[in-house]
Amino acid sequence: MASLTAMSTSKPAPASHWIQYGCGLDAPAGWLNFDASPTLRLQRLALIGALFQYRTPFPPTVRYGDIVRGLPVADACAEGLYCSHVLEHLSADDVATALRHSYQILRPGGTFRLVLPDLAHMVRGYLQATDAMACQQFMRDSGVLINKRSHGLKSFLITWFGNSTHLSLWDYAGMAHMLEQAGFMEIRPARCGDSGLTQFNQVENPNRWENALGIACRRPTHR
């Protein structure tokens, strides 16, 4: 039987100037695509992998990699870096670590683009709502609402291996501050497709940018 050790992230990944992490099923050619879902590792195991095919299997172009622990790539190797709806699934401390690792991956002058839920948008919607159950909609939008807690092995596996829970929420000011602390500069709000680089158009899904917080920044050329 294959072991989890056999899929260690210590094995160097193929070289690529364009890297995304937390890619899910969106893993276009020309990008080095990483995801940290335990389900990815388990689906790739011989014999027991079939037990974890309760959802669409990850494409073969996806490699296991955890940005918090560090991706198996060289420092300063990427011209562009991208993550979509990833950071909200990390604790605040892990977000800081992930951003430091993101900075290390980029070449000087390289571009980092990220999109995640927009806390400010959620709060505005909640405050303007007239529905008596607006609180539930706010919790649903923020990813913390559980209508019914299911029991049983299958529910446990989906919860444990799904990584679907939101652990932190951010507005532009908060995330811009975190990026600045990590060393990034030229931090600005971003819209889907406004990078001017065709490579980012391959990974940016307009549906994931709708009512979301998009940010673009760069690693300084002088560091």
What is residue 126's predicted lDDT score, i.e. its pLDDT?
Answer: 87
Q: What angle do CA 45, 33, 38 make, to 5 degrees?
A: 35
Domain ranges of the chain: 16-117+165-218
Q: Which of 55-69, 101-115, 204-218 has the lowest mean pLDDT?
A: 55-69
CB 70 within 8 A of CB 99: no
26 φψ region: left (φ > 0), alpha (ψ -120 to 50), beta (else): beta
Residues 51, 53, 55, 58, Cα dihedral to 10°: 130
162: pLDDT strictly greater than 80: no
pTM: 0.81
Three-class SS string for 53-102? Answer: CCCCCCCCCEEECCCCCCCCCCCCCEEEEEEECCHHHCCHHHHHHHHHHH
CB 157 within 8 A of CB 57: no
Instruction: Give per-residue pLDDT as tens, 33-88.
Output: 999 877 776 665 555 545 545 456 777 888 999 999 999 999 999 999 999 999 99
Architecture of domain 16-117+165-218: 3-Layer(aba) Sandwich (3.40)
3: pLDDT strictly greater than 50: no
Exposed, middle or buried, 102 (CB in 10 Å: 0-12/13-18/19+)? buried
186: pLDDT strictly greater than 90: yes
Please report which confidence band the pLDDT of residue 4 belongs to, taking 50, 70 and 90 as the band edges. very low
What's the chain's average pLDDT?
83
What is residue 223's predicted lDDT score, i.e. its pLDDT?
Answer: 60
Instruction: Give per-residue pLDDT as tens, 110-143.
Output: 999 999 999 999 999 889 988 888 888 888 777 7
101: pLDDT strictly greater than 60: yes
